Every structure is written in structure tokens, then in C-alpha cells.
Amino acid sequence: MAKIVVIKLKTAGPRIGPFTIKDNYGNVLGMDISREELKRGLPLSVVDEVSVIVISSTGIVKLTKNFPLETFNAYEYAGVKFTNNNISCAWTHLKNPLLYNTYYNNIEPYIIEYPFEYKFNDEILQNVKDYTKVYKYLETGDGVLADYSKYEIDEVWFNKAILYNGQQCSGILNLTPKPQNNLKSYMSFPVINTDSKTILYSKSDNFYQYNTFWNVTKDTSTAQFKKNCESLSIDKEINESNMDYSLRSHKKATFRAKELKVRHILDNRGDVNIVSQFILTPAQNSFK
């Protein structure tokens, strides 16, 4: 026989969720359940033998708890009010010398942004050259970072870039290493995606560099960025509705202004240590 149980969330932190719900026999009762669904109350059908519900947060915060089934009357159920448990805590990291931008088993973006101000004339951006060292470390056995255990690598760098000024934006540029000795693969770039563009970068004379970018902003009277609720920082997330990534055979608008900002992002791995030195943005004067 089956019975209906209702799961209702009483309290949770802001980073908890989405959820996977199982019974004590391992049967999946629900997947990708949002906080809002659990706050309202989620009815589930289970067999009579089930005595425990297992709820797991599968998002940024990984957490699993067991809840024995209890009997509530309608008044007690209606009286359950959700409380946002917004408790601050100290984040500990770098416990493992082989991992860097990894916090509680989740990769957090490493972001660095460089501002540039040009002189009297507008300038047209030619390319971006970044002098950066990328290290990986060997296990030392004592859990301590040591110079003798690190080695520099060339095939890893930032995986995303965003170039922008007051009226122009490149959108999200996915950065991938230039293929070696493979002309067919090389000619397949840039790759135009619905919400980004994938371009190549190379490393020469210890500079990482790339130059396949153009303005993709649709409307200069609409914001290029929107606030990211995850970190509550300004200008963190691209406003994709105002970006046009479609392939263009001509009329690729160059970056031309008296200012420029270059944002580099690493958010797909946490096993490298990026040490940024300095960056160059070669440009030429633009005359009207």
C-alpha cells in the first residue's frame, strides 16, 4: 500500500539546494527540487514501510540529512513557517596544497580585471597579451606548499575572458589553447555558441595572447551586466539578452574608446595556481 507524505522546509541557508529526495530504501522520490517547492510543501507518494526520508542538497553546498516520518495534524502543518537561516561562517581553504580556488569541494571562480585608460585620442584594441605564470604542485607529504615541489605549465590558463568599455562588450569569450600541428582544427575557430564564443589563445615568449574579439552589444541603452545574486557583486554576470553572438562575415565592430576593461576568469578547475604578473593591450590611435 502507498501513503502520501508532505515534505515542508522549515529553515535553510541561502546556498542550500536544489534537493534530491529518497526514502530509507534508496528509492528516488524527487530530483532537482527547488527551495521554493519545499517551502510551499511537496507531497510525495511512498510505500507504507518507509519510515525515513533522506534529503540531499546537491548544489554548491553538499549536505545530506535523514528525517524520520512523524505525524502532524493540519494545524501544526499550517503553522510551519520558513526561516532563512543566514548564518555567517569562516571559510577555510588551502588545506590541500594541490587545490586553490576550491572551497568545500566546489570550484569558485578566480576573477581578475584590469582597467586601461588611453590618452587624448580614442584607441583601437589590437590584441591582449598577458604575462602570467601557471603552476602545479607535487604532493610533498606534509601538506605544505613548497617551491621545490612546483613546476610551471604552458597548456593551462584562464578559460574565459570578457572585454568591455562603456558602450561595447565582447560577451563571454571561452578560451582554448591553439591546436598544435592541426590546421583543420585550427580553421574551425572561432566557434559561435548561443551564449558565448569560443576562441583560441597561444603562448609565445611567455605571453598568453588572443585577438579574436569584436563588439556584440545589441543596444547601448541597455545594461551590459546584471548583478549576480550569488555574490551580490556589481557587474558580475553578463546580460545575455543584450548580446548578439551570431557569426558575421563583415561589420565586426572593433573596440574603440578611451578606456577598456579586461576581465579574465578561471571557473572550470581548481588544481592550478595562476600568478598574474602584468598585462598589455596593444592598440593604435583612431582618428576621425
- Scanning the structure block, which residue is given the C-alpha cell 569541494? 105
What whole-number distance in Å separates Cα of residue 200 and Cα of residue 160?
11
Give the pLDDT confidence score for residue 182 in this predicted structure. 87
Q: What is the CATH number of domain 2-84?
A: 2.60.40
Given a contact cutoff of 8 angstroms between Cβ atoms, the answer to whether 23 and 46 are in contact is yes
Omega prior to 177 cis, within 30 of 0: no
Q: Is the pLDDT of residue 103 over 80?
A: no
Task: Classify burial at 43, counting beta carbons within 10 Å of its beta carbon; exposed 0-12, middle 13-18, buried 19 or more.
Answer: exposed
Domain residue limits, the chain? 2-84, 102-286
Q: What is the mean pLDDT of residues 5-9?
A: 85
What whole-number distance in Å separates Cα of residue 17 and Cα of residue 60?
8
- Scanning the structure block, which residue is given the C-alpha cell 574608446? 257
- The amino acid that residue 58 corresponds to is T
Q: Model-level pTM?
A: 0.72
Q: Is the pLDDT of residue 130 over 80?
A: yes
Task: Classify burial at 102, counting beta carbons within 10 Å of its beta carbon; exposed 0-12, middle 13-18, buried 19 or more.
Answer: middle
Let me know how many helices (H) and strands (E) the chain has, helices first. Answer: 3, 25
Given a contact cutoff of 8 angstroms between Cβ atoms, the answer to whether 157 and 128 are in contact is no
Given a contact cutoff of 8 angstroms between Cβ atoms, the answer to whether 160 and 264 are in contact is yes
Give the pLDDT confidence score for residue 218 in this predicted structure. 92
DSSP 243: B
Give the pLDDT confidence score for residue 262 in this predicted structure. 95
Kindly report, residue by residue over 10-33, the tens digit of the pLDDT.
888 777 888 999 999 899 998 999
Kindly report, residue by residue over 245-255, the tens digit of the pLDDT.
987 767 788 99
